[in-house]
Amino acid sequence: MSHNSFGHLFRVTTFGESHGPALGAVVDGCPPRIPLTAEEIQVFLDKRKPGQSRFTTQRREPDEVKILSGVFTDDDGRQVTTGAPIALVIENTDQRSKDYGEIAQKYRPGHADYVYDAKYGIRDYRGGGRSSARETAARVAAGAVARKVLAGVTIRGALVQIGPHEIDRARFDWAEVDANPFFCPDRETAARWADYLDDIRKAGSSIGAVIELEATGVPVGWGAPIYGKLDAELAAALMSINAVKGVEIGAGFAAAELTGEDNADEMRKGPSFLSNHAGGILGGISTGQPIVARFAVKPTSSILTPRKTIDRAGEETEIVTKGRHDPCVGIRAVPVGEAMMACVLADQFLRHRGQNG
C-alpha cells in the first residue's frame, strides 16, 4: 500500500492501524532548533481523543504521544528539534477486535471494506484497519509539530453544521468553541445539537457535519501558480481525511450565486480588502487575509440499523455493525482539519522561504 506520505519540504508519513499495537507519524523536513516537547503535542491530541463525551465513540484511548527521534537538549537545557526526522508514536490500548468478528466476511455499506478487499485481496476488518479514522491521531500529532514551524500563524476550527442544523452566524464566537463538546462557536445552537444528537445516538444511527477552518497571520505570497496552488493543496489535504466528501475555500459553492461585482474582494490603500470571498487565496497564492476553508463530513457508516450488503463470496445478506462508534464523526474532525491545514501551511512556508528568501 503506497501513498502514506504528503508534503514536499515539510513531509509527513503516517503508519499504523485501528487495532494494531500502535500508530504514528514521521515528520521529515522540520527545521532545527525549534523547541518541541511531547506535552506541546499532547495538547492537540487531547482535543481529538475519543471518549470525552456521550457524543463521541466510547473507546477509551489516552492517545499519549512519545517522541522517538529528531529532538535533543540544547546548551540552554531546552529540548529542540535537530533537523532530523521526528518519529512520533501513539500506542493503542483499548481495542476490542471481538466486536468486529460478525462482519469479518461482510462489507459495510458506505465504508471502504469492499474496495480495500477488491484492490489488495486482503482487509483488516478490525475497526477498518488503515481506513479507520483512528489513523487521524497521527495527523494531529504531526500538525502540532507544523504549528511550531508557523510562528505568528494561528489556526483554529469550529463545527458550524450538524445534519440540517446550522449555527447562527450572528452569534459566531470563537471563545465558545472550547466551552462545549461540539467545538461549536454558537452557544445556543450547541444546546440544540445536544438534544438532536442524543436522538441520533439512541436510534443507533449517525449524522454528518460541516467544519470551518481559519488561519490568521499568514502573509501575502505563500503558494505558487498552476501546480503548487495553496488552495489546491489545502483542498487535497482536507479531502484526504476519512469521511470527507466536499471542500470549499472562502465563499466556495456560494460564489456561483454571486455576481462579479459581489464576488470580487475590493481593495483600498494598505493594502486592505473590503471582503474575503476568496478565502485569503487568489491565483493559488495567499493574500494576507485570513485563510478560510470548510469541509463536509458524511455520517459514520458503522450503524446499528440493519443494512443490505454482500459478503466476500458475493452473496446477498444484511449487516449490523456493533462496537463503539461516533454518532457524528465530524466533532472529532475539527482538530484533524486544523492539523492538516497546519501541515500544508508549514510546507508552503518552507517552500516560499526556499525560493524567495
258-to-232, 261, 263, 282 alpha-carbon distances in Å: 22, 8, 6, 17
* Cα–Cα distance measured from residue 356 to residue 223, given in angstroms and rounded to the nearest whole number: 11
Q: Are 197 and 55 in contact (CB under 8 A)?
A: yes
135-to-8, 18, 200, 279 alpha-carbon distances in Å: 21, 7, 25, 28
Grid cell for residue 332:
472529532
pTM: 0.94
Question: Which residue stretches of the chain have pLDDT < 70?
Answer: 50-61, 94-100, 323-324
Nearest to 301, CA basis, from 183, 132, 140: 132
Vertex 229, ends 228 and 235: CA angle to 5°? 115
Predicted local confidence at residue 250, as pLDDT: 98
* Cα–Cα distance measured from residue 14 to residue 10, given in angstroms and rounded to the nearest whole number: 13
Nearest to 85, CA basis, from 151, 170, 12: 12
Predicted local confidence at residue 94, as pLDDT: 66
* Cα–Cα distance measured from residue 239 to residue 198, given in angstroms and rounded to the nearest whole number: 28
* Cα–Cα distance measured from residue 299 to residue 120, given in angstroms and rounded to the nearest whole number: 25
Contacts of residue 275, defined as CB under 8 A and 6 or more positions apart, other chains included, come to: 265, 266
Q: Are 72 and 82 in contact (CB under 8 A)?
A: yes
Q: Are 352 and 225 in contact (CB under 8 A)?
A: no
Rounded to the nearest 10 degrees, what angle do helices 230-239 and 333-356 cross at? 150
Beta strands in the chain (DSSP E): 5-6, 11-16, 22-28, 65-67, 71-73, 79-81, 86-91, 154-162, 165-166, 209-216, 244-249, 267-268, 272-273, 281-282, 285-286, 291-297, 307-310, 316-319
Predicted local confidence at residue 97, as pLDDT: 57
- Half-sphere exposure (CA, 13 Å, Cβ side) for 253? 6
* Cα–Cα distance measured from residue 111 to residue 95, given in angstroms and rounded to the nearest whole number: 19
* Cα–Cα distance measured from residue 168 to residue 176, given in angstroms and rounded to the nearest whole number: 13
> For the segment 237-263, what is each residue's pLDDT rounded down to a tens digit?
999 999 999 999 999 999 999 999 999
Phi, then psi, of 248 in degrees rounded to 5: -140, 150
> How far does Cα 54 stand from its chain's mean position?
21
Nearest to 18, CA basis, from 138, 122, 130, 115: 130
Beta strands in 95-171 (DSSP E): 154-162, 165-166
Phi, then psi, of 279 in degrees rounded to 5: 70, 25
* One-letter amino acid of 149: V
